[in-house]
Amino acid sequence: METAAVAAAGAGRRIMVAVDEGEESLHALNWCLANVVSPAGGDTLVLVHARRPRPVYAAMDSAGYMMTSDVLARTTTMGMTMRRV
C-alpha cells in the first residue's frame, strides 16, 4: 500500500484549464503556467476546448420546399462566415 502512495505522489498532478478563442482564456492559461504548474516538472496539463455544435438545418424550409444539399451546404457556410464577422 505504501508503495502505491509513493508512486502516486511522484506521478505529479493533472491540471485542467478550459480554453477558447478569447483573451481571458489566454490569460487564465498564462496564469496557470506561472502559478500552478510546477517548474520542476511532473505535472500534466490538460487543455479543454469546447465549441458550439454546428447548426442543423431541416431539409424543408418553412414554406414546405425541399432544400437541396447544395443549398444546405451554402447555408452552413454562410452561417460559419457570419459568426466570424
pLDDT, position 28: 93
**And the C-alpha cell for 22?**
478569447
Interatomic CA distance for residues 34 and 69, integer angstroms:
49
Mean pLDDT of the chain: 75
Closest CA to 76 of 58, 62, 60: 58
Closest CA to 18 of 36, 37, 39, 32: 32
pLDDT tens-place string over residues 34-48: 999 988 889 999 999
Please tell me the pTM assigned to this model: 0.48
pLDDT, position 6: 39
* Residue 62 CA from chain centroid, whole number: 33
pLDDT tens-place string over residues 72-82: 677 777 776 76
Write down the domain spans for the chain.
14-71
CA-to-CA separations, 53 to 42, 72, 76, in angstroms, rounded: 34, 16, 12
Interatomic CA distance for residues 58 and 67, integer angstroms:
8
